[in-house]
Chains A and B, each alone.
Chain A
Amino acid sequence: MNENEEIRIGVYVCHCGLNIGGIVDVKSVAEFASTLPNVIIAKEYKYSCSDPGQDMIKQDIKEHKLNRVIVAACTPRTHEPIFRKAIEEAGLNKYLFEMANIRDQCSWVHLYEKEKATEKAKDLVKAAVYRANFLKPQVESKVPIRRTALVIGGGVAGIQAALDLADTGYKVYLVEKEPTIGGRMAQIDKTFPTMDCSICILAPKMAEAGRHPNIEIITNSEVKEVTGYIGNFNVKVLEKARYVTKDCTACGDCSTACPEVNPNEFDVGLKARKAIYIPFAQAVPTRYIIDKDLCLNLKKGTIVCEECLNACEKKAIDFSDKDEVVELEVGTIIIATGMDVYDPMKNHDYGYGIYENVITSMEFERLINAAGPTEGHLVRPSDGKIPKTVAFIQCVGSREMKNGGKYCSNVCCMNTIKDTLLIKEHWPDVQQYVFYQDIRAFGKGFEDLFRRAKEEGVVFIRGLPSKIEETPDKKLIIHAEDTLLGEKITMEVDIVILSVGLIPRKDAPEIQKVLALATTDDGFFLEAHPKLQPVDTAIGGVFLAGCAEGPKDIKDSVTQASAASARAGILMAQGEVTVEALTPVLDADVCKACGMCANVCPYYAWLWSKEERNIPKLVEASCAGCGGCGAECPSEAIEMRHFPDEAIYAQIDALLEEKPEEKVIVFACNWCSYAGADLAGVSRFQYPPVGRIIRTMCSARIRSDFVMYAFMKGAGAVLMSGCHIGDCHYNYANKHTLRRYEILKKRIERLGIRPDRLQLNWFSAAEGILFANKMKELEEFLKTVTKEEVEKTKEILSQKWKKPRKLERWLETREKLFAAVAGGGSK
Chain B
Amino acid sequence: MKVSHEFRKEVMKFFEESKLNMCYQCGKCSSFCPVFWQHPEKFNPRKIIEMASIGIEDIIKKPDIWRCTTCYECVENCPQRVSFVELIYALRNLSIKKGFAPKEALDEFESIKKYGFIMTATDRIKKIRQSLGIDSEIEDKKEIIEKILAKTGGEK
Contact = CB atoms under 8 A, between A and B. Distances in A.
B81 A402 contact: yes
B25 to A, nearest CB: 6
A463 B36 contact: no
Contacts of B28: 464-466
Nearest to A396: B79
B5 interface: no
Contacts, number: 63
Residue from B28, B77, B81 having most chain A Cβ neighbours under 10 A: B28
Interface in A387-404: 395, 399-402
A611 interface: no
Interface in B36-65: 36-37, 40, 44, 46-47
6 contacts: A402-B81, A463-B26, A466-B31, A479-B31, A481-B36, A482-B27
A486 B40 contact: yes
A501 to B, nearest CB: 11
Nearest to A462: B27
Interface string A340-361: 0000000001000000000000
A349 B44 CA distance: 21
A488 interface: yes
B95 interface: no
Contacts of A635: none
Contact of A488 (B40, B77, B81): B40
A483 B26 contact: yes
Contacts of A249: none
Given A401-B79, A481-B31, A481-B40, 16 more contacts: A399-B24, A402-B79, A437-B25, A437-B27, A463-B27, A463-B31, A464-B27, A465-B31, A466-B28, A479-B31, A479-B37, A480-B27, A483-B26, A486-B44, A487-B40, A488-B36
Contacts of A401: 78-81
A349 B77 contact: yes
Contacts of A466: 28, 31-32, 77
Nearest to B79: A400
Contacts of B25: 437, 483
Contacts of B30: 481, 483, 486, 488
Interface of B: 24-28, 30-32, 36-37, 40, 44, 46-47, 77-81
Contacts of B80: 399, 401
Contacts of B40: 481, 486-488
The 10 A-B residue pairs whose C-beta atoms are closest, nearest first, are A466-B31, A463-B27, A437-B26, A483-B27, A481-B27, A481-B30, A466-B32, A464-B26, A400-B79, A401-B81
Contacts of A400: 79
A438 interface: yes
Contact of B79 (A395, A467, A481): A395
B31 A395 contact: no
Contacts of A399: 24, 79-80
Interface string A459-476: 000111111000000000
Given A399-B79, A402-B79, A488 B24 contact: no
A463 B45 CA distance: 13
A618 B17 CA distance: 50
Contacts of A395: 26, 79
A799 B99 CA distance: 67
A480 B31 contact: yes
Residue from B30, B36, B46 having most chain A Cβ neighbours under 10 A: B30
Nearest to A464: B26
Nearest to B45: A481
A466 B27 CA distance: 9
A480 B32 CA distance: 8
Contacts of A463: 26-27, 31
A482 B46 CA distance: 11
A488 B44 CA distance: 10
Nearest to A401: B81
A737 B78 CA distance: 39
A481 B27 CA distance: 6
A24 B3 CA distance: 53
